[in-house]
C-alpha cells in the first residue's frame, strides 16, 4: 500500500493525521471516501492500531457497506473487526447491550414514522385533542425538533408557553409513555438514549475504547443530538476525523445543523482543518458554474473546486414552452450525448415532477427507473408480515398487534376492536393482556369468539416461533393465518404482492444464511456486543434499519430521481428539470434566508453529480396543482456566469441531436431579468431584446417513438376485455402497469408485459 501514490497531497495529509480532532472539508467528488478508507488502513497498517478501536460512522447503510468493502480490500482482511456503520446501527448495538441501564426491555422494537403517527394519533385522542387543530404531522414535527435537540418531554414542557406547544408537550409526554408501553423506540430516541448511556461510567469506558479512533462521514448532516453523541464518544481531545461539506447540507429541514461544521472548533477545540478541493468527477465548467451558485450563500467556510480534466462542454440551458416541451427537450438532450443512457440521470425537485419526464421516456420506449418513492419495507403486505414477526416476539407491541388483529379479515370488526382497545387503555395494559385474561364482557358473542380464536392462533404461533428458523417461520405465518390466501388471486395487484412477499422470504433466507456462516460480525467487533440476540430480533433490527432492498443498479436505463436522492451519486450526463422560481427555490422555502441557502445547495448538489454533460431546464408555464401557471426561471440560474452556459429556447427545441443551435447573448437578456445585487458576474441585462417567440416547430421524430408508444390517452384493445383507453401508467420495464378503462368493464390495472394490448 503506497499511500503517497494513492492519494493527492491534501488527501494524504488528512489520511495520516495524528491525534486530536480533525475537520476535513471535502468538496463534491474530491475523494472523501478515499480519505476515510485510507486513513483506517493507515492506522491499522502503519500505526499498528487495533482495528477494534476504530469506529467509522456514516448516515446510510450504502455508504457504510461501500466503506467497509473498500477498507477490507485495502487491508486484505475480512471481516475487519472495526465498526463501520450508521449512527443508528451504532446506537442500536449500545442499546441492545446496555438497554436496561436506560429502562429499555431487551426486546424493544424500532418504530418507523408510520408507527409514530399512529402513536401520536392515539396520544391526541387520549389528551382529548382534535386532529384538525393538532395535525399529526405538525405535532410529530414539533416533537421531532425537540428530540433532535435532545429536549425530553419534561424539559420541553418547561420551555413552551403558547397554546399549541403546551398541548404538544402533553402529547409528547403521552407519546413517550405509549411508545415504551408498546416496547418501542423511535429513531431519535436511539440517539438520545445512547447519549444518555454514555453518561454511565462503565459504558463510556467501553465505548471510548472502541471509538479511540473515530471517523464521521457527512458531518454536515448531523443534528444536535448526533453532535452530542459524537462528542461523548470521542471525549475531550479525542481522535475524531469529521468529514463533510457545508455546501452539500440539504437536510436542515430534518434537523441537520450546518453549524456543526461551521462552528466545529467550538465543539472540538484546536482541530486541524483541511480542505479537499481537487475534484475527480466533473469538468471545470461544471465546477465553476456550481461554485458560482453556492458562492451566494453566506453560511459557509468556502472552497473552490478544481480539476485537471479541462473545461469541458458548456452547460446547456433550455427554457421550454411547458413541462411537456421541456421533457421532450431534456430527453433529446440526454440522447444526444455520447454518454450511455444507463449513465444518465434526470433530477427534479419533487417526486411529482418526475411525471412529465416519465411520460416522455415512456412514449419513446426508453428504459428508465425511478429511484426512491415507495420503499420495499413500507409496502402494506411487507409491513403486515413484519408486524406478525414483531407480535410473535412481543405480543404487547400493540402497534403491530392492531395491525394484524384483523389482517387477513377474521371477523374482528371495528366495534370489537374499539372495545378491546378502549379496555386496554382504561386498564393501562395492552389488548394482548385483555385477551390473555379473557375479560371480554360487553363484547359481542361473535366478536369475542373471533378474539379468542385469534388469541389461540397467536399462542400457537408463538410456540412455533421458538424453534422454527426464520424463513420457515414466515411461511408458517403465511399458511396458518391465511395471509397467503389474501393474495392468491390472479389480478396484477395480487401478483405484485406475491412477488414482494417472495422477496421478503428471500431476504429472510439470505439473512439467516449470512448469520449462519458467521460473516456478519467479526469476532471481537463492537457489533459482536449485541450478538447474543436471537435471529428474529436481529432480522427485525435489520429490516428496521435498512428500509430498502438496497442498491439500485441503473442497468441500461435512465435514472429519474429527486435532487435529494441524487446526493452521493454521479452520472456521465445529468439533466436538472423544473428550474423555476417556486420550484427551486421551492415556494415553501422562501420565508427564511437559511432555507433559500439550502435550496441553493440543492442545486449545487445536483450540478456536481455530472461528470461531463450537464443540462438545465425550465418551462414558461406548467400545471401546478392542476392549474396552468406562468413560471419564471429560477433566480439561481442568473447566478451562473453566462460564460459557462449555452442557452437554447423553445423555438429551437426540435434541433436534431448533435447539430449546434443558435445561442442567445447571455442569460440575463434571455430571461429579461436584472442582474441580482451582489452577483459576481459582470453581465447587465434588463433591456436586451426578448428572444424570438416563434412556436412553429417540427417535431423531431425519434425512430422508436411514434405510433407504437404506450402512453396516457391511447386507445387499446385487450383480447378479453375489449376496447379501452389507457388512463395512467405506473412503474416501468417488466413491472410497468397500465391503468385502463374498458368499455363496459370499467377500470382495470394490467401488467404491460403480459397484457398483450393491441394499439388502436
Told to check if 412 binds DNA by CB under 7 A, we report: yes
Contact 325, 353 (CB under 8 A): no
User: Is 567 an active-site residue?
Assistant: no
Binding mask 240-259 for DNA (x = CB under 7 A): ----------xx-xx-x---
Measured from the CB of residue 114, what is the shortest distance to DNA in angstroms? 9
CB of 448 to DNA, least distance (A): 15
Which of 32, 34, 122, 364 does the annotation list as catalytic?
32
Q: Report if residue 60 touches DNA, rule: CB under 7 A.
A: yes
32 counts as binding DNA under rule CB under 7 A: no
* CB 696, min distance to DNA, A: 27
213 is a site residue for DNA (CB under 7 A): no
Q: Which of 107, 186, 189, 218 is catalytic?
A: 218
- Asked about 32 being catalytic, the answer comes back as yes
Q: What is the distance between the alpha carbons of residues 235 and 225, in angstroms, rounded to a whole number?
A: 15
Which of 494/688 has CB closer to DNA?
Answer: 494
β partners of residue 369: 559
Catalytic: which of 210, 396, 609, 714? 609
Residues 596-615 that bind DNA (CB under 7 A): 599
Q: Are 673 and 688 in contact (CB under 8 A)?
A: no
C-alpha span between 365 and 711 (Å, rounded): 10
Is 33 catalytic? The answer is: yes
Query: Binding residue for DNA (CB under 7 A) from 335, 336, 406, 702?
Result: 406
Nearest residue (CB) to DNA, 380 versus 437:
380
Q: In the bound complex, what is the minimum distance in angstroms from residue 306's beta carbon to DNA? A: 26
By CB under 7 A, name the one of 36, 56, 59, 362 that touches DNA.
59
> Does the footprint of DNA cover residue 586 (CB under 7 A)?
yes
DSSP letter at 59 equals S
CA of residue 649 relative to chain centroid, distance: 34
Of 55-63, 433-441, 463-471, 687-695, the window that binds DNA (rule: CB under 7 A) is 55-63
Which grid cell is 655? 434541433
Task: Please choose, out of 326-334, 390-398, 405-413, 677-685, the segment that lies near DNA by the rule CB under 7 A.
Answer: 405-413
Per-residue x/- track, 157-196, DNA (CB under 7 A): ------------------------------x---------
Q: In the annotation, is 609 catalytic?
A: yes
Count of residues that interact with DNA, criterion CB under 7 A? 49
Q: How far is the CB of 254 from DNA (least distance, A)?
A: 4
Cell digits for 190?
A: 436511539
Cα–Cα dist 229/211, whole Å? 12
What contacts 87, CB < 8 A, 6 or more positions away? 57, 58, 59, 191, 226, 229
Residue 445 in contact with DNA, rule: CB under 7 A: no
- 151 within 8 A of 143, measured Cβ to Cβ: no
**Residue 626 binds to DNA (criterion: CB under 7 A):** yes
Burial of 259 (0-12, 13-18, 19+ CB in 10 A): middle
In this complex, which beta carbon is closest to DNA, that of residue 588 or of residue 680?
588
User: Quick one: 414 or 426, whose CB is closer to DNA?
Assistant: 414
By CB under 7 A, residue 482 contacts DNA: no
Q: What is the smallest separation between the CB atom of 255 and DNA, expressed in angstroms? A: 8
Q: Which of 53, 55, 86, 669 binds DNA (CB under 7 A)?
A: 86
Catalytic residue from among 22, 33, 496, 537: 33
350 binds DNA (CB under 7 A): yes
For residues 323 and 599, which CB has a smaller minimum distance to DNA in the complex? 599
Distances (CA, A) of 452 to 482, 511, 638, 710: 17, 34, 68, 52
What would the grid cell of residue 448 be? 369475542
Of these, 517, 627, 696, 698, which contacts DNA (CB under 7 A)? Answer: 627
Instruction: Answer for the pair 246, 220: CB distance below 8 angstroms, yes or no.
Output: yes
Decide: helix, strand or coil at residue 561.
strand
Member of 221, 384, 611, 648 binding DNA (CB under 7 A): 221
Check if the beta carbon of residue 653 is closer than 8 Å to that of residue 320.
yes
| DSSP letters spanning 346-400 | EEESSGGGHHHHHHHHHHTT--EEE-SSS-GGGSHHHHHHHHHHHHHH-TT-HHH
Cell numbers at 614, concatenated: 450537464
Give the bridge partners for 214, in sequence order: 55, 240
Residue 43: Cβ within 10 Å count: 24
Site for DNA in 368-387 (CB under 7 A): 372, 375
Q: Give yes or no for residue 210 binding DNA (CB under 7 A).
A: no
Q: Which stretch binds DNA (CB under 7 A): 85-93, 274-282, 529-537, 667-675?
A: 85-93
Task: Write down the least CB distance from residue 364 to DNA, Å.
Answer: 21
39 vs 523: CA distance, rounded Å: 22
Query: Mask of contacts with DNA, 133-152, x by CB under 7 A?
Result: --x-----------------
- CA–CA separation, 117 and 135 (whole Å): 10
Q: Which residues contact 73 (CB under 8 A, 6 or more apart)?
A: none
Active-site entry in 217, 381, 639, 649: 217
**Cα separation, 603 vs 609, whole angstroms:** 10
CA–CA distance, 13 with 39 (Å, rounded to integer): 10
> Minimum distance from CB of 121 to DNA (Å)?
7
Q: How far apart, in whole angstroms, are the C-alpha atoms of residue 587 and residue 584?
A: 8
Measured from the Cβ of residue 395, the count of other Cβ atoms closer than 10 Å reads 22
Known catalytic membership, residue 10: no
Q: Name the one range near DNA by CB under 7 A: 173-181, 197-205, 497-505, 625-633.
A: 625-633
Provide the CA 260 distance to its chain's centre, in angstroms. 21
Choose one: 167-175, 287-295, 346-354, 657-665; the region binding DNA (CB under 7 A). Answer: 346-354
Please indicate whether residue 218 is annotated as part of the active site: yes
Does 224 sit near DNA (CB under 7 A)?
Answer: no
For residue 131, give the 3-state DSSP assignment.
coil
Q: Is residue 728 a contact point for DNA (CB under 7 A)? A: yes
> What kind and span of H or E run contains 723?
strand 722-730
Q: CA-to-CA distance for 456 and 477, rounded, in angstroms? A: 14
Residue (17 or 252) nearer to DNA, CB: 252
Go through 608-635 and write b for each residue having 16 or more CB atoms within 10 A of its CB, e for each that does not: bbbbbbbbbbbbbebeeeeeeeebebbb
- Residues in a beta bridge with 648: 318
What b/e string do you get for 147-184 counting C-beta neighbours within 10 Å, with b at 16 or more?
A: bbbbbebeebbeebeeeebebbbbbbbbbbebbebbbb
String marking each residue 635-674 x if it binds DNA according to CB under 7 A: ----------------------------------------
d(CA 265, CA 243): 14
Contact with DNA (CB under 7 A): which of 269, 411, 656, 708?
Answer: 411
Whose Cβ is closer to DNA: residue 602's or residue 647's?
602
Cβ closer to DNA: 236 or 713? 713
Q: 560 to 579, contacts with DNA by CB under 7 A?
A: 561-562, 564-565, 567
Candidate list 224, 349, 396, 423; residue touching DNA; CB under 7 A: 349
In the chain, the N- to C-terminal Cα span, in Å, equals: 64
Does the protein bind DNA through residue 61 (CB under 7 A)? yes
The residue (of 92 and 522) whose beta carbon lies closer to DNA is 92
Give the interface with DNA as residue ranges (CB under 7 A).
Answer: 59-62, 86, 88-89, 113, 135, 187, 218, 221, 250-251, 253-254, 256, 349-352, 372, 375, 406, 409-414, 545-548, 561-562, 564-565, 567, 586, 588-589, 595, 599, 623, 625-627, 728
List the catalytic residues.
32-33, 217-218, 248, 609
Amino acid at each position: 500500500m503506497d499511500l503517497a501514490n494513492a492519494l493527492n497531497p491534501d488527501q494524504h495529509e488528512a489520511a495520516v493525521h495524528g491525534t486530536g480532532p480533525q475537520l476535513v472539508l471535502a468538496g463534491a467528488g474530491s475523494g472523501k471516501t478515499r480519505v476515510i478508507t485510507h486513513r483506517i488502513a493507515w492506522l491499522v497498517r502503519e500505526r499498528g492500531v487495533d482495528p477494534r478501536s476504530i469506529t467509522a460512522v456514516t448516515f446510510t447503510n450504502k455508504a457504510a457497506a461501500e466503506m467497509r468493502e473498500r477498507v477490507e480490500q485495502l487491508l486484505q482482511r475480512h471481516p475487519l473487526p472495526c465498526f463501520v456503520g450508521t449512527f443508528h446501527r451504532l446506537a442500536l448495538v449500545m442499546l441492545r447491550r446496555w438497554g436496561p441501564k436506560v429502562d429499555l426491555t431487551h426486546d424493544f422494537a424500532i418504530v418507523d414514522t408510520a408507527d409514530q403517527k399512529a402513536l401520536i394519533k392515539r396520544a391526541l385522542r387520549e389528551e382529548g385533542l382534535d386532529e384538525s387543530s393538532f395535525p399529526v404531522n405538525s405535532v410529530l414535527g414539533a416533537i421531532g425538533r425537540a428530540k433532535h435537540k435532545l429536549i425530553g418531554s419534561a424539559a420541553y414542557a418547561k420551555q413552551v408557553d403558547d397554546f399549541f406547544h403546551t398541548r404538544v408537550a402533553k402529547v409528547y409526554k403521552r407519546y413517550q409513555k405509549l411508545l415504551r408501553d408498546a416496547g418501542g423506540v423511535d429513531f431519535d430516541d436511539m440517539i438520545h438514549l445512547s447519549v444518555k448511556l454514555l453518561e454511565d461510567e462503565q459504558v463510556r469506558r467501553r465505548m471510548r475504547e472502541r471509538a479511540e479512533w473515530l471517523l464521521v462521514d457527512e458531518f454536515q448532516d448531523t443534528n444536535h443530538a448526533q453532535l452530542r453523541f459524537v462528542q461523548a464518544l470521542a471525549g475531550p481531545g479525542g481522535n475524531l476525523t469529521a468529514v463533510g461539506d457545508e455546501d452539500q447540507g440539504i437536510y436542515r429541514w430534518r434537523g441537520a445543523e450546518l453549524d456543526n461544521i461551521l462552528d466545529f472548533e467550538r465543539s472540538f477545540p484546536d482541530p486541524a482543518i483541511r480542505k479537499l478541493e481537487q475534484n475527480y468527477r466533473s469538468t471545470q465548467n461544471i465546477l465553476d458554474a456550481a461554485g458560482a451558485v453556492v458562492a451566494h450563500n453566506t453560511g459557509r467556510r468556502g472552497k473552490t473546486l478544481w480539476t485537471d480534466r479541462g473545461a469541458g462542454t458548456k452547460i446547456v440551458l433550455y427554457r421550454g414552452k411547458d413541462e411537456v416541451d421541456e421533457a421532450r427537450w431534456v430527453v433529446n438532450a440526454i440522447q444526444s450525448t455520447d454518454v450511455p443512457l444507463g449513465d444518465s440521470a434526470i433530477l427534479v425537485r419533487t417526486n411529482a415532477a418526475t411525471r412529465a419526464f416519465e411520460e416522455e421516456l415512456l412514449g419513446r420506449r426508453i428504459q428508465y427507473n425511478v429511484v426512491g418513492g415507495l420503499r420495499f419495507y413500507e409496502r402494506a403486505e411487507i409491513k403486515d408480515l413484519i408486524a406478525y414477526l414483531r407480535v410473535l416476539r412481543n405480543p404487547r407491541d400493540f402497534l403491530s398487534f392492531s395491525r394484524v388483529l384483523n389482517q387477513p379479515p377474521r371477523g374482528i370488526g371495528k366495534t370489537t376492536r374499539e372495545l378491546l382497545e378502549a379496555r386496554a387503555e382504561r386498564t393501562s395494559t395492552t389488548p394482548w393482556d385483555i385477551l390473555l385474561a379473557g375479560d371480554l364482557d360487553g363484547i359481542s358473542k361473535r366478536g369475542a369468539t373471533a378474539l379468542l380464536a385469534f388469541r389461540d392462533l397467536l399462542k400457537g404461533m408463538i410456540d412455533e416461533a421458538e424453534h422454527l428458523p426464520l424463513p420457515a417461520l414466515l411461511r408458517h405465518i403465511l399458511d396458518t393465518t391465511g395471509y397467503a390466501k389474501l393474495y392468491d388471486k390472479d389480478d396484477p395487484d395480487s401478483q405484485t404482492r406475491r412477488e414482494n412477499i417472495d422477496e421478503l422470504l428471500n431476504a429472510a433466507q439470505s439473512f439467516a444464511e449470512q448469520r449462519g456462516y458467521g460473516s456478519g460480525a467479526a469476532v471481537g467487533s463492537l457489533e459482536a456486543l449485541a450478538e447474543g440476540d436471537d435471529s428474529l430480533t436481529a432480522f427485525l433490527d435489520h429490516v428496521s434499519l435498512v428500509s430498502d432492498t438496497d442498491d439500485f443498479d441503473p442497468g441500461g436505463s435512465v435514472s429519474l430521481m429527486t435532487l435529494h436522492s441524487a446526493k452521493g451519486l454521479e452520472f456521465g450526463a445529468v439533466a436538472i428539470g423544473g428550474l423555476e422560481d417556486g420550484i427551486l427555490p421551492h415556494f415553501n422555502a422562501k420565508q427564511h434566508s437559511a432555507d433559500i441557502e439550502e435550496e441553493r445547495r440543492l442545486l449545487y448538489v445536483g450540478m456536481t453529480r455530472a461528470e461531463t454533460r450537464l443540462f438545465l431546464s425550465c418551462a414558461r408555464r406548467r400545471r401546478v396543482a392542476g392549474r396552468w401557471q406562468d413560471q419564471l426561471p429560477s433566480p439561481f440560474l442568473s447566478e451562473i456566469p453566462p460564460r459557462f452556459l449555452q442557452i437554447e429556447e423553445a423555438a429551437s427545441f426540435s434541433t436534431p441531436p448533435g447539430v449546434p443551435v443558435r445561442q442567445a447573448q447571455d442569460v440575463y437578456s434571455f430571461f429579461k431579468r436584472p442582474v441580482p445585487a451582489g452577483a459576481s458576474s459582470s453581465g447587465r441585462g434588463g433591456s436586451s431584446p426578448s428572444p424570438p417567440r416563434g412556436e412553429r416547430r417540427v417535431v423531431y421524430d425519434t425512430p422508436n417513438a411514434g405510433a407504437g408508444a404506450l402512453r396516457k390517452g391511447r386507445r387499446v384493445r385487450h383480447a378479453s376485455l375489449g376496447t379501452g383507453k389507457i388512463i395512467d401508467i405506473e412503474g416501468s420495464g417488466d413491472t410497468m402497469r397500465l391503468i385502463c378503462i374498458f368499455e363496459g368493464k370499467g377500470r382495470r390495472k394490467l401488467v404491460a408485459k403480459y397484457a398483450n394490448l393491441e394499439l388502436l
